[in-house]
Each structure stands twice: as structure tokens, then as C-alpha cells.
A and B are shown apart, each in its own frame.
Chain A
């Protein structure tokens, strides 16, 4: 039984109101006298904090309900109703969405606060916060939506905000291009999502199109339909969550301000694909083949992007590829029907990856927007707090016990081993070693050794408290979040898994403790080896290496961008510039111009019929009437 609570509607509404208020104030005053930035900061930061409070309330309300009745709903209004099609704008809080809700609002609050320091003095401070609030509102709609359609509204909303914020520094043309790339690549994914949704609707949409009715009616679906729907939805997920082959936009998305990278492109939005697969677990669980495709796509993405990550020079690019890699782990988890493990990794990842990005933001801030790690070095003494917190984040990312990343990653790898997918497990362990390597390569190069740029080093200083406090809080999260789902091996009771159980259709893989110990031992060994190699190469200071051969190939991310350019972008441009030539008449190609020309010619031919003589118009009418009469007399026979 779902309980109706009206405050659920407030959760997405609050940030949207915040966005509207900040946006309108900004628009109304930007030309005249600027309002103080503090006002905007207070307005914008209050909404995520309020939503966090509400999220906690949701959690406790759910906790008070019996286990199989943990669902709160609120229907705001019937959105549209045509014939049998009835879509309502409504929200659903169940254990799954409440968990998402908790960490989304929590990290969002901290990142909002952090941004006050990071964005201080920016020209359009208020605009940034309006976008950020808008993003949060859309993200909450995505998470709380009671059905695929509402989720899609949020899905598109976060996509829009992501686009706006990537091209936030729009003076630089490459940033705008990065935004466009993200937008276009995501459209490809969305196409899959929409198609999947449409098929699902045609199949069983008549008797309700919210998760609860879909779950009840899922058994009526033909197996082929389920396969098709799941595949198409996964295409949507690869777009938003940056998986092979659509991951290319995420590294470029680092062009946005660093808090944006932390919030949108690490902690929250990019995990939406994982969330969606978990949401539709009642479908995915019936098609293990599709699950296997998901899992392999995920683990291969993890491998490929870990390789890229080992050779990047830009601190944010390193983190970006590590995000793609970790997202790959999550998909491996949900693909193998270990939904709670995947979601738990989403949860811990939000803490340590947001922490790492914010830490990187502090470094960048301290060095006046220097992002190349080979121009840093020895910052340990200058930025002690940042160093310590980032170290915690790195240990969590690299999977060092007992940091949070260890538990969640290990659970995914363990389920791969336990379900008999040894191949996935081996790749996973390999990636774990690589992760440790590139994470500590970054730490050693940035914080250890001697400064490579003396001038910048001299001027570096710890950022203000408004930026460091969120770092500390997130570091505590990154340190302890793993204990929430302590496996029984360590005397825990897997609380998160049990909490999520009512929302997910999970196969628990029972396996002996010995297999679990093997999995853990392998992970820890991989971590140790990775860190050891990193220390040997970079621990005592190293100069920027000259990439050649494979490493150069990897540095250029296997030239995937160039490949896509030749394979897709150029042919697409040839077709797509029919619209483009309106904007820029010089990029069109022959066939396109031909189509445009035909279209125009049609138009101007038709224009000729509009001769302007009233008698001719009367003749048209008579002809039309005659044809109508003829059709009528024909039907007499």
C-alpha cells in the first residue's frame, strides 16, 4: 500500500522555486545595480539544505512503515489524458529513490556551499546558482518521478542544465563546443530511451504507466519485448552515464566549472543511467542476456577509461576518466543483477568522487586555474588540508580497506565471481589495480616531490573555510560510508542491501566465505601493486614523460574522438547541416544544398500560385468546389 504524502511534491519544487527567484532577481538587476552575491548565495544554498531535511524526513517516514509497504506517493496533477493514455505528474519515494534522494541532496548542499567560495567574484555569480538550483530540481524530478515519463522530464532537465553549465564560460569557443558535444551525444542516448519507453507503453501502458503498475503488469510482456525495451533503455543509460560507445562527452564536459564537474558529472547526473537500470530491475531481471551485455559494456568501459586515465595530464581529465571507469563498475554490478551492489557503489562513489573533484577544485583555485599536473608538485605543505582530504578520497577510490570504495567495489567484484562470470571479475580486478595506479600517480605528482612551477607554488594557499569545510565533511563520508553495508564476513549485516530489497528484483548469489575471501584478497593485492608501481615511478618526483607508442595512443584516448569524427560526425554533418546552413551558410555540402534547394523551389513554386488576382482566387475556389462536388457525386454510385 502506498501512502500519499503531500510534502513529496515540495522536494523538487523547492530548488525550482530557488532557481526561479535567483534567476528573476538576476535578470531584473543585472543591467542596473548588482545585488550582493551573499544574497544569492544564501537564497541558492537554502534550497538544497531544505530538500536534504525533507529527504531525511522521507527516510524516517519510510523506515516507520512495514518492509513491504515502504512507498510514499504524491500525485500533483494529471498531466495529460487522451483516451486511454493517462499520465500523471506524480512522485514516488521508495527505498531506492529515498537512498538516491539522501545522497543527492547531501552532496548538492555541500557543493552549493563550496561553490560560494569557488565562484566568488564571478561575473554572473547568480546565473551559476540559478542553473545549479535548476539542475537539482530536475535531478530530484528524475529520482522521484513515479513513472518513466516523469523520469524523462527530469532526464531532459538535467541534460539541459548540464549543457548550460558545461558551456558556462562561453567566451571560450571550445567550451561551447564541449557543451554541444555533450548535448548531441546525449540526444542519441535519449532517442533510445524514448523508443524504449514507447515500446513499453504500447505493450502495457494502457493499464497505468507508473512504476508500480508496470511492475505488476510486467509479467504480461512477451520476452522479445522485454529484451527490446531493456536494450533500448540501456542505450539511453549509455548516453547519460557515459558508457561505451557514448562516453566521449564526459571528459570534454570538464570544461565546466569544477563544482559542476563534481555535482553533475561525477556524483549525481551521470549515475542516472545506473539508477534507471535499477529502477527497471523488474524487467532486466528477466533477461539475463541483456544483463550480460550491460555488464560487459560496463566492465570494458571501466577498462578502457582506466587505461586512458593512466596517461592524462589534466587533473580533471584524470578524474573524469576515473568517473567513467567507476560508472563501468556500477553497470557491471547492475548488469549481473547485483542491483544493490551497483546502487551502493553509486552511493559511495558520490562521496569520494565529489570529494576528489572539490579537492581538485581547491588545487586549481590555489594555482589560479592551472590544471596540468606536470606544473604542480609538492603542494602537500602548502595545502595540507586539501592534501589530507584528497588522500582519503583517493584511498576510497583506489579501494583501500576500510574506505568506502573498498566495500562497494568489492561487493560488485564478489558478485561477479560468485555468479560465475570469472572473465568480468578478472577484468574488474585488473581495473582495480589500474585505478590505484592512476589515482596515486595523480596524488604523488600533485602533492609530493618538489614544486615544478616555483612561482605558482609560492602563491598557492589554502582556500577559505567555505570551501574546506565541505571537503572535510565529504572526507568523513568517504571514510565511513562503506560501513553502512558491511558484509557479514566482517560482522556487518548489509543494511543498505536490506533497505533496498523491496525496490529491487535481486538475485542474491549465495557463495561460500572462501570465495568472498579470494575476491577481497585479489582486490587488495591489485590495490597494493597499483600503488606500489605508482610510488616507484612518481613517488620521489618525476618529470613530465614524453608519450610515445602505446602510451601516446592511450594519451590520445585511442584516437576515439577522431574515429568518431570520421565515422559519425562528418557524415552526420553532411546530412544535418540542412539546419546548420541557416546558422552558417558556409558549412553546407552538395547533397544538402540540393535538398534545401528543392524545398525552397517547392516553396517558391507554390508562391507563384499566390498571384494576387482576386479573380484567380475565385477560380481556385470554383475548381476546389467542383472537385468536391465530383467526389460527392461519385459516392452516389
Chain B
């Protein structure tokens, strides 16, 4: 019983920290750097506590109070660690970003911390109502973060699209829960899994429809084709650190929920496999095709995020349900998060005043002016493209091997094909940086924190590829 508090401590730390930051925002005299440092401290503390291992089987903390609505295991622990690290690096790079983009305020960090606390809750939730509330906590915070630059019409437009479509998906999610509740009288994952494994999914149409709506809403959040359209515009309009945060932490949290729903409480993928297969294939290729045509880096990264979702779906289809540890998914998420955050951290300082550099051509010749930044970006891009010796390569390798061993040969082959297609747009930036002449001095004003972030993450990308078993 005493251990339970330890399991939930990261969540408590982050939530209390968020409230504290919100209160601090009332004081005008506090500088942005202080808030950033404070949130970094909160995340670091939570990360350290999260290092305590839990074990592969689910532990239900405070079962008498929470009635089994939360469960922790090594899967949730590592997912939480990824999310907390995403928050930490975002808080660090945001400072460099706000030096050059003059719309920062203290609430930014508080909102981000709230979002992280919602995500932590998401990873642990074992029951649909908790998922709904956590999801809305995250969404509401992120709406505000996306539209943080109120003076910029693009930022407003981005949040508008996200909000409307998000509310749309949220409505379906609520309806889905209502249907599941009607069908089973319960909203726990365990009850769903028990019912499905007892009678099959199709025995109960309300349950099937409800789950369909729920999957729809979750797919919307992780940008599965054809629910992906918002992501390119929203990532484009959002401030760079927020984009990086959404691309990594949010995706990790939602994938964790999907794994929870589909696998952890009991394997209910059986009836969905066909649908998941088509969605996966479409997601992989839609993402690649959208990314090819982009000239803006943020849009390209958003589209490439769709492709990475496709890979994660392959993993969700292919991992074996019994003795699920999720290591394949988690490793890919960690590798992807490190590379993506690294790119966005680099962009946070390289984009300059008011994000004036955002297209491929704006980074021409970067290697000649700022060789280290270019080298770091190259590492991140190679990792995303899946070229050894980076973490991204190992992640893709794991997923493709898992798919192959699980008998999904077509998915494995398509995964490789998509990885080849993706080289096009990743290498395009590398070529621009290394083989074109520089017509820009890439002056940046600001703190060193985002460059330090990029450096640490570049090392993480390389280190993760050497010690994949650590995850």
C-alpha cells in the first residue's frame, strides 16, 4: 500500500507543479526564465521518481479509492518517462524561442505542465471516463498553447481548425463511451475485453459501434488517415516548441491509450485487424505523399509525423498480445520523440525572429555557417529516415522484424518501402544544408538552452541505438 504513492508520485508532482506555476503567473515580477527553470525542475524531479521500476504486470494503486481506474506497469512508466522528457526539453527550448518571438508569458509553462499531467493520466487510465477527462485536460491546454500567439492570424487559424475538429472528435468519443456504457453497464477496459473475449465483438452492436467511435476519436488525435488533415495546418500555425511538444508527447500518450484499449487489458484486436491494416497502409503512404510536396519544414515534419504514426500502427497490429511489454512501441516512440524534439529544439533557435526561417531553402548552406547545428539536424533527420547508426533505424528495424515474425509480411514490406520513400524529403534538407551556398548568416539571439537541448538529444539518438535493450 505504501508503494502506491510512489507509483502515482510523478503525476502528483506534475499536477501540483502545474497549479503552482499557474499561481506564480499572477506575479508580474517573475521572469520567464524562472518559470522555465521551475518547470524543468518539476519535470526532472518527476522523471527521477519515475525511474523506480514497477514490473511487467499491472499494479492498481489505491484500488479502494480509485476503483481500478488507474493501473501502472513498466509500460506506463516508460511511456510517462518519454512524456515527461518531452515536457522537459520543450520547456528548455521554449526559452530560446521566446527570446526571438515576443509573445511569451508565464502561463505558457503552466499550461504545458497541465498538458503533461493529463498525458500521464492518459497512460495509466484503465477506464473510459478517466480517458475522456484526461484527454480533454490535454486538449484544452494544447488548444491554448497552439493559439498562444494571439497577434498572429495563422496561429488563430490553426487553433480554430484544431478546436473545431477536436470538439467533433470529442463528441464522438463521448458518444462512444455512452454506447459502451449502454452495452455493458461498465466503462472499464477489463470489462470490455472480458465481454469481447467471451462473446466476440459482434455479439453486441452497441459495444462495436461504441468502440468504433472511440477508436475514431483516438485515431483523429494520432493523425491516422483519413483523419489526418488537420495536423499539417495545425503544426504549421502553432509556435515551434508547441509543435514539437504535440508531435511527441501527445502522440506518445495517445498511442499508450490505444495500446491499453486494444491490448493491455485483453487482446481485442481480432475483429479490427482488417480495418487497422487498411488504415495503416493508407496512413503510411498518405503521409509520405503529403510530405513530398511541402516546402515548409514544419509542414514536412507534420506530414512525416503521419508516416511515423503508420509505423506505430504496424507495431500495434503486429506485437503479440500475450506477455505484452510494449517494448517495440515504446522504443520507437522514444527514438521518434528524441529525433523530433531535437529537430524542433534546433528550429526553436535557428528559425530566428518571428519564425522567419521556415522553408527548406531558408536553411541552405547552414552547414557552412553553423556546422554543429547542421550536424545535429543531420543526425535527427537520419534517425527519422531510419538510417543506421541511429535510434530511428533500430526502431524501424524492431517494428519491421516484429511485423515479419507476426506473419504480417505485407506490412513489413510496405514499412520498408515507405522508409525508402521518406528519404526523399529528409535528405532534401540535408542536401540543402550541406551542398548549397549560404546566403544567410543564421544569426540568433537568445539563450543557449535550445542548443544544449539539441546537443543532448543528438547524443540520446545515438546512445539509444547502442543500448536499445535499456528500454
Chain A in direct contact with chain B (Cβ < 8 angstroms): yes
Q: Give the B-binding residues of A (Cβ under 8 A).
A: 77-85, 579, 582-583, 599-600, 602-607, 609-610, 612, 614, 616-618, 620-621, 623-625, 628-629, 631-632, 635-636
* Contact across chains for A606 and B164 when beta carbons are under 8 A apart: no
Residues 271-300 (chain B) with a chain A CB within 8 angstroms: 271, 274-275, 278, 286, 289-294
Known contacts A599-B424, A606-B286, A79 near B227 by CB under 8 Å: no
Q: Which of B226, B232, B428 contacts A582 (CB 8 A)?
A: B428
* Contact across chains for B289 and A602 when beta carbons are under 8 A apart: yes
Q: Which of A77, A600, A631, A635 contacts B469 (CB 8 A)?
A: A77
A635, B212: Cα distance in complex, Å: 13
* Contact across chains for A83 and B401 when beta carbons are under 8 A apart: yes
* Contact across chains for A620 and B227 when beta carbons are under 8 A apart: yes
Report the minimum CB–CB distance from B376 to chain A (whole Å). Answer: 13
* Contact across chains for A621 and B168 when beta carbons are under 8 A apart: yes
A636, B225: Cα distance in complex, Å: 24
Q: Which of B165, B216, B469 contacts A81 (CB 8 A)?
A: B469
Interface residues of A, dominant DSSP: helix
Residues of B within 8 A of A635 (CB): 202, 271, 274
A329, B168: Cα distance in complex, Å: 74
Report the minimum CB–CB distance from B397 to chain A (whole Å). Answer: 7
Residues of B within 8 A of A629 (CB): 209, 212
Q: Which of B161, B227, B290, B293 contacts A614 (CB 8 A)?
A: B161
Residues of B within 8 A of A621 (CB): 165, 168-169, 216, 220, 226-227, 229
* Contact across chains for B290 and A607 when beta carbons are under 8 A apart: yes
Q: What are 7 A-B contacts with C-beta separation under 8 Å?
A: A79-B468, A80-B468, A83-B405, A600-B293, A621-B169, A623-B226, A636-B202
* Contact across chains for A614 and B226 when beta carbons are under 8 A apart: no
Given contacts A620-B226, A632-B208, 19 further A-B contacts (CB under 8 A): A80-B398, A80-B468, A82-B328, A82-B397, A83-B401, A83-B405, A582-B428, A582-B431, A583-B431, A602-B289, A603-B289, A603-B292, A603-B293, A607-B290, A610-B229, A617-B165, A620-B229, A629-B212, A632-B275
Contact-residue bracket for chain B: 35 or more
Q: Give the A-binding residues of B (Cβ under 8 A).
A: 160-161, 164-165, 168-169, 172, 202, 205, 208-209, 212, 215-216, 220, 225-227, 229-230, 232-233, 271, 274-275, 278, 286, 289-294, 328, 394, 397-398, 401-402, 405, 424, 427-428, 431, 435, 467-469
* Contact across chains for B232 and A610 when beta carbons are under 8 A apart: yes
A610, B172: Cα distance in complex, Å: 23
* Contact across chains for B165 and A610 when beta carbons are under 8 A apart: no
A506, B451: Cα distance in complex, Å: 58
Residues of B within 8 A of A609 (CB): 229
* Contact across chains for A624 and B401 when beta carbons are under 8 A apart: no
Most buried by A among B229, B294, B328: B229
A78, B467: Cα distance in complex, Å: 8
* Contact across chains for A624 and B226 when beta carbons are under 8 A apart: yes
* Contact across chains for A583 and B292 when beta carbons are under 8 A apart: no
Residues of A within 8 A of B215 (CB): 628
Q: Which residue of B lies closest to A634 (CB)?
A: B274
Known contacts A617-B165, A621-B165, A604 near B293 by CB under 8 Å: yes
Report the minimum CB–CB distance from B132 to chain A (whole Å). Answer: 18
A478, B232: Cα distance in complex, Å: 67
Residues of B within 8 A of A628 (CB): 212, 215-216, 275
Q: Which of A80, A582, A614, A616 contacts B397 (CB 8 A)?
A: A80
Report the minimum CB–CB distance from B203 to chain A (whole Å). Answer: 10
A394, B401: Cα distance in complex, Å: 52
Residues of A within 8 A of B208 (CB): 632
Report the minimum CB–CB distance from A87 to chain B (whole Å). Answer: 11
Report the minimum CB–CB distance from B386 to chain A (whole Å). Answer: 14
Residues of A within 8 A of B160 (CB): 614
Known contacts A82-B328, A582-B431, A620-B226, A614 near B165 by CB under 8 Å: yes
A582, B423: Cα distance in complex, Å: 12
A120, B160: Cα distance in complex, Å: 65
Q: Which residue of B lies closest to A88 (CB)?
A: B469
* Contact across chains for A631 and B274 when beta carbons are under 8 A apart: yes
Residues of B within 8 A of A616 (CB): 229
* Contact across chains for A600 and B398 when beta carbons are under 8 A apart: no
A606, B293: Cα distance in complex, Å: 8
The 7 residue pairs across chains A and B that have the minimum distance between CB atoms = A603-B292, A603-B293, A624-B226, A606-B289, A607-B293, A617-B229, A82-B401
Q: Which residue of A lies closest to B225 (CB)?
A: A624
Report the minimum CB–CB distance from A13 to chain B (whole Å). Answer: 12
Report the minimum CB–CB distance from B74 to chain A (whole Å). Answer: 16
A81, B331: Cα distance in complex, Å: 12
A635, B203: Cα distance in complex, Å: 11
Report the minimum CB–CB distance from B387 to chain A (whole Å). Answer: 12
Residues of A within 8 A of B274 (CB): 631, 635
Residues of A within 8 A of B397 (CB): 80, 82
Q: Which residue of A lies closest to B168 (CB)?
A: A618
